[in-house]
Chains A and B, each alone.
Chain A
Amino acid sequence: DGGITQSPKYLFRKEGQNVTLSCEQNLNHDAMYWYRQDPGQGLRLIYYSQIVNDFQKGDIAEGYSVSREKKESFPLTVTSAQKNPTAFYLCASSIGRAQETQYFGPGTRLLVL
């Protein structure tokens, strides 16, 4: 089965803690994305990566960091600098410039203890 997996489904963060959300795809897509969704809102772009070892800030990158060491993987770290991290986080991928359709994972809900 081809697709995008995200783990965990739920994640709890304590004050001052960094947490990492996993995103893996086996679609052989070059581009990957991280979005944040707040209740009743649309998606806001955190970071995106067009190719391995390269990534760009999106609209709300402050307090987040990413890496893209492998084509299949694009983990997102929510750092302690992100003061309001409670949200639903969605990872997506796309083939690349020639095909803009994005394919989404099931999401990770991050809650603060």
Chain B
Amino acid sequence: SQQGEEDPQALSIQEGENATMNCSYKTSINNLQWYRQNSGRGLVHLILIRSNEREKHSGRLRVTLDTSKKSSSLLITASRAADTASYFCATSSGGSNYKLTFGKGTLLTVNP
């Protein structure tokens, strides 16, 4: 069963613009992670935010977490063509810190 659901399914922007992707989930979580996947490749970890954190930054990435709304957002600022990829949120919940449940992803296209 899918825990996280990303929104929108696809997003197309111009280079230099900001991109915002959202993730909603259903049950309480231990942490939430964002991953990037270039076409036909493996996933790359971007950032992890724990349930007691509200915001984290890493370079041009900003992640927020609202546990009351069971949602998270990923903001990529000053986007580049190289940011074109699918972005997935993944949640860890319950007693297992091993199992991650992935959403279906947002396909981001950054046009030069």
List chain A positions with a Cβ less than 8 A from chain B: 4, 31, 33, 35, 40-45, 48, 50, 58-59, 88, 90, 92, 94, 97-98, 100-107, 109
Contact partner, B33, options A45, A98, A100, Cβ 8 Å: A100
- The answer, among A97, A100, A106, for a CB contact under 8 Å with B42, is A106
Residues of chain B within 8 A of A104, CB atoms compared:
35, 42-44
With A42-B2, A42-B105, A94-B98 known as contacts, the answer to whether A101 contacts B45 (CB < 8 A) is yes
Other-chain residue from B4, B35, B45, B98 in contact with A31 (beta carbon distance below 8 A): B98
A41 and B40 contact, Cβ closer than 8 Å, known pairs A100-B33, A100-B92, A101-B45: no
Contact B1 A43 (CB under 8 A): no
Chain A residues within an 8 Å CB radius of B35: 104
User: Inside 8 A of B104's CB, which chain A residues have their CB?
Assistant: 40-42
Whole-angstrom CA separation of A35 from B97 in the bound complex: 16
On whether the beta carbons of A43 and B98 are closer than 8 Å, the reply is: no
User: How many angstroms between the C-alpha atoms of A35 and B105 in the bound complex?
Assistant: 15
Task: Say whether B31 contacts A100, CB under 8 Å.
Answer: yes
B99: Cβ under 8 A from any A Cβ? yes
Decide if A101 touches B48 in the complex (CB within 8 Å). Answer: yes
Separation of A31 and B96 alpha carbons in the complex (Å): 12
A-B contact pairs, 11 of them (CB 8 A): A4-B42, A43-B102, A90-B42, A90-B43, A97-B97, A100-B33, A100-B100, A101-B33, A101-B45, A107-B41, A109-B40
* Docked pose: A100 CA to B35 CA in angstroms: 13
B103 to A, closest residue via Cβ: A42
Q: Does residue B88 face the partner (Cβ distance < 8 Å to A)?
A: yes
Contact partners of B90 in chain A: CB under 8 A: 43
